[in-house]
Amino acid sequence: MMMVEKEDLGLSLSLNFFQNTPNQPQPLNLTSSSPSQSYFHPKKFSIQETITSQDRNSKLGIDVNRLPCTVVECEEEEAGVSSPNSTVSSVSGKRSSRELDNDVDNRGNISDEEDAETARKKLRLSKDQSLILEETFKEHNTLNPKQKLALAKQLGLRPRQVEVWFQNRRARTKLKQTEVDCEVLKRCCENLTDENRRLQKEVQELRALKLSPQFYMQMTPPTTLTMCPSCERVAVPSSGVDASNRHISMAQAHPRALPIGPWASVAPITHRMFDVFRQ
């Protein structure tokens, strides 16, 4: 499978040109340098549940975020087995990061029995830990090894935990951005459908007008047809008939001055050509 560069992903495909369109959702700046926090769904990214359980556990005297290893141990771990996915380093073949983490845990005087019991024990992060991680993520959504170590030390977590948190956080960010982009495209599609419907109707009206004898008699075959670049109506040159009337009649044929395009609320364009007729 081909990997896609971060910059090439939908994350940066925020359709920013919608930003001036009032009816469109505001694309969120989630570039790698400054991911927006405000855009997250309050429920989905709420840490309330975490806080609740954390508080409960605290009351129960359960420290779910027991410092799993000393800083030195963490640094040892980081130096030796920093990447969970670089699991192919050992001669004896793959070794899961869990096993590696267990090694660390085992150094922390956890019996084998206890270790087996707590295998893949997931520990919710505390409110403070989550907040700090979020703040750090806002500044940069990736961490270099030094930052990772420092953050892990600050939070009392294993570097691996920090690493995983950032991985999952990036995934959530991307998922959210994809949802936003999807919504924008959906609206765009809806606008196009509406516009298509309107144009079809307009074509029908024009055909009806063309077939009506009165209109047909007035029609002198135009040598050239000029189209207003904004409203894309055809302006008939002034030969024979009063130009202003001609435009008015066109306007009558198009009672609704709807702008064209799926993103309808674009800045108005001066109808210079048609202004000439009005003079």
Partner DNA sequence: ATGCGAAACTAGTTTACGTCA
Partner DNA sequence: ATTGACGTAAACTAGTTTCGC
* x-marked contacts with DNA along 49-68 as a string, rule CB under 7 A: xx-xx--xx-----------
Verify binding: residue 119, DNA, rule CB under 7 A. Answer: yes
The first and second tokens of residue 195, run together, are 């516009």
Q: Which amino acid is at 228?
A: C
Q: Please tell me whether residue 120 binds DNA under the rule CB under 7 A.
A: yes
Task: Give the Cα separation of 175 and 187 in Å (integer).
Answer: 19
Stretch that binds DNA, among 21-29, 69-77, 156-164, 252-260 (CB under 7 A): 156-164
**Interacting residue with DNA among 61, 72, 92, 121 (CB under 7 A):** 121
Contact letters for DNA, residues 66-95 (x by CB under 7 A) = ----------------xxxxxxxx----x-
Among 22, 38, 43, 279, binds DNA (CB under 7 A): 43
Report the residue number, 24 or 130, with the smaller CB distance to DNA.
130
159-188 residues near DNA, rule: CB under 7 A: 160-161, 163-168, 170-172, 174
Are 170 and 141 in contact by the 8 Å Cβ rule? The answer is: yes
Q: Contact at 8 Å (CB) between 231 and 254?
A: yes
211-240 burial code (b ≥16 CB/10 A, e <16) = eeeeeeeeeeeeeeeeebebbebebbeeee
Burial annotation 257-275 (CB, 10 A radius, 16+ → b, else e) = eeeeeebeeeeeeebeebe
Q: Which residues of the chain form contacts with DNA (CB under 7 A)? A: 1-6, 9, 41, 43-47, 49-50, 52-53, 56-57, 82-89, 94, 96-98, 101, 119-125, 130, 142-145, 160-161, 163-168, 170-172, 174
